[in-house]
Amino acid sequence: MKGQPYSFGGAQLDVSRDAPDLGEHTQVVLRDILGLDEADIRRLAELGVTRADPVE
């Protein structure tokens, strides 16, 4: 169900996109914000610390 769970003085807010998928921004955060290189990011994935696919 799309919509906002809150309101701002009755103002109508449009939902312009869905919530991000699990892990969608993980590499961006690790690389651009935390400064890890591709080898470090790959190693985290190999160790099971991060993953791009949802756990079933």
Task: Return the pLDDT at 54.
Answer: 60
Q: State residue 38's pLDDT score.
A: 94
The whole-model pTM stands at 0.62
pLDDT for 56 equals: 60
Per the prediction, the chain carries an average pLDDT of 83
pLDDT reading at 42 higher than 80: yes
Query: What whole-number distance in Å separates Cα of residue 42 and Cα of residue 27?
Result: 10
pLDDT at residue 43 is higher than 70: yes
Cα-trace Rg, the chain: 17
Residue ranges of alpha helices (H) inside the chain are 26-28, 38-46
Rounded Cα gap, residues 22 and 54, in angstroms = 6
Between 42 and 15, the higher pLDDT residue: 42
